Amino acid sequence: MRGLPVDWPAVLGRGSTVDLPTYAFQHRHYWPETDNKRAEVVAATGAEAGFWTAVESGDATALADLLGVNPTDETLGALTDWRRRERADSSVADWRYRVSWVPVSESDGTLTGTWLVVGDGPDAAVIAEALESHGAMATRTTSDRLHEAVATSWDLNGVVSLLALNDGHLAEHPLIPAGLAGTVELTQALGRLGVSAPLWVLTRGAVRTSGDSAVDPVQAQVWGLGVVAGLELAGRWGGLVDLPPVVDARAGARLAGVLADAAEDQVAVRSGGVVARRLVRAGRPVVRNAWSPRGSVLVTGGTSGVGAITARWVADRSASRVVLTSRSGPAAAGVAELAGSIAASGSAVDVVACDIADRASADALLRRTDATGPVLSSIVHSAGVGGHKPLSDLESADLSTLLSAKVGGAAVLDELTADRELDAFVLFSSGAGVWGSGGLSGYAAANAYLDALAEDRRARGLTASSVAWGLWAGVGMAANAGGDRLRDFGMEGIDEQRGMLALGQVLDADEGAMVVAGFDWPQFLPTYTLRRPSRLLADLPEVRATLTDDTAEAGTGEWADRLAGMPVAEQQQVLTDLVRGHAAAVLGHESAEDVLPQRAFKDMGFDSAGAVELRNRLSQVVGVQLSSTMVFDYPNAAALADQIWRELMPEHAAEPDADLEEVAFRETIAAIPMARIREAGLLDLLLNLAEPAGTSGGTETESIDEMDAESLIRRALDGKDS
């Protein structure tokens, strides 16, 4: 065996540097502590436990003794099946969600300032007219004249983009829709030009609301990208608005109302009004026709990760043959062991190297599968490529790579099987396309396509289901630093057994676009809304219970009283030390000395989860409701301490022209005895500084010796006697 050097930054990306203990003798560690807490389980009574034990074990004699009657085999079997289903359903019930649309009130608010309408055609004209009728000055422009339009716009209050409506594709990257590429480029261009006005992106048919007959998966990609833009751009992002087929004056007025109100940032304008997007609990699945795999089942991306887990599960459900594909195929790591476990379940297994996004290769694969038998009956498309990159840096080559396997593969499989009566056509997508995840805009766009394709196929009378998975435990993104970050944000890992239970429920109930994810809501919600509020989650009971206020509940706090008797300089120092101490605790440092007052929080390793924890700690201690964005608004300990001081001591902070440095200096020098000032030779210097410019220093009207320290300081700093 010969080793080769590994370019780790190329593999893992370049991370930020944070302070860690430098050697063992410091007796400090920075690994996470295990949590020994266990969930409380309410035990059944003895009689109840005995009853269900008898049912689960199929012990008719024990059940007869408990009930005093002899149950039939049919009754016992029904009870056993019911108990098994109930337990299975309960174990994943909290993970099942779906996207819903709720009516919202139409706003008659007014717009102000200049609004850019980027795009051309009849829709742009109608929308510009609607904005002006609501009080805005609308300026129409195109993407190639954006710089000129921005430079000549006064009081720019918003940007409305119609670029996503372009249904073409890039010649050099055929998988990338022109509308998606144009939206990315516009977002980046506005950032380069320093435009802080919110960007609203318009689509058409990207979402399927109640009453819609179809959805456009290509347009849906912009929504996937947009939910990530909302997290990354915060104040620079306005939102997503899906337009009706025809934009008339009424639709234009509704759009203008959405922009003026800005309470919702994911909406659809329809003939019946305006509806807003919500993530809601999915109801209990109703089994329509329990899915039992027959014939051959194709699992793309099936040699690793969730694809491999699914392949084993399909085999356990007695599939005749499981066909696994990936780009590596038989050369993939661990594939021999995987194939062996599938064969041990009684299923034949084929492992094929195939680029499923290549139409010719995919067509050959399907033909070969049918020819060698048994015939293909079901497809699970789990192939995909991940990649973490901020939207501001996303390039066409990045986007093409991210779209290739998921979008390209799904589109090819959809086309090649459109005339087949499949038992299942399952698309594995991600929650990133539903609620977003920073740095995953391209990945989110690809996954939004899959969810929309499932709905599109169902609208065409074809079978299809999509599952937008949350964080899996130990596979995929969860196996690297990205998984750690998501866990810190409040995502709970999906284990293999319950993940497959959830998938089985989706297939048995023939459900369309579903979300399966675990959330620690008290942790996830404040982290998710740290930079920007969101109504997407507003209708979930757990969210309503968690989000009683946008900021943490403040403690009673006695800090204002404690600070009242101190000089301002000491107040500042005490609060700075307080912030440093709690920041050190959040970061896992032993001492506040490890947190320098002027060092940026982001350079010390603070992320959104850490920011929320620090906010909660300080709010509880000082008795002030601090903003959830405080770590971003006040980037270091000194700046944050200054803001807390202003909250606690508003009578000082509200003084006209209050200068904390000057106040501290006045208080300090006032405490110095006059004799010490003379001895240090500072008296003449202070008096000279007090003389107005251009004067030669006239006769003293008051003896310096008769001045008290306060009068002397006033003269020195204000240039006049007391």
End-to-end CA distance of the chain: 87
> 323 lies in a domain?
yes
pLDDT in the model for residue 482: 58
> 590 lies in a domain?
no
pLDDT in the model for residue 565: 74
Per the structure block, which two tokens stand in for 105? Answer: 């009130």
Q: Range of 700's domain?
A: 672-718
Q: Is 481 found in the same domain as 341?
A: yes
Mean pLDDT of 152-180: 94
Q: Is 433 found in the same domain as 487?
A: yes
pLDDT in the model for residue 68: 58
Between 426 and 687, residue with greater pLDDT: 426
Is pLDDT above 60 for 354?
Answer: yes
Domain with residue 121: its CATH number is 3.40.50.11460
Could you say which of 489, 516, 543 is where a domain stops? 516
Which residues face 426 on adjacent strands?
380, 465
The per-residue pLDDT for range 486-537, each reduced to its tens digit, is: 777 888 999 999 999 999 999 999 999 999 999 998 888 888 887 788 899 9
pTM value is 0.74
pLDDT in the model for residue 152: 87
Mean pLDDT of 106-126: 94
Q: Is 321 found in the same domain as 273?
A: no
Cis peptide before 103 (omega within 30 of 0): no
> 594 lies in a domain?
no
Q: Specify the 3-state DSSP secondary structure of 266.
A: strand
> 133 lies in a domain?
yes
* Residue 40 one-letter amino acid: E
Q: Is 88 found in the same domain as 208?
A: no
* Separation of alpha carbons 627 and 612, rounded Å: 10
* Residue 64 vs residues 47, 68, 69, 73, 688: alpha-carbon distances, Å: 13, 5, 5, 11, 106
473, burial (CB in 10 Å: exposed 0-12, middle 13-18, buried 19+):
middle
Is pLDDT above 80 for 140?
Answer: yes
Q: Is 268 found in the same domain as 134?
A: yes
Is pLDDT above 80 for 408?
Answer: yes
Please state the domain count of the chain. Answer: 4
Mean pLDDT of 324-339: 95
User: Helices H, strands E: what count in the chain?
Assistant: 29, 17
> 533 lies in a domain?
no
The per-residue pLDDT for range 253-286, each reduced to its tens digit, is: 999 999 999 899 999 999 999 999 999 999 888 8
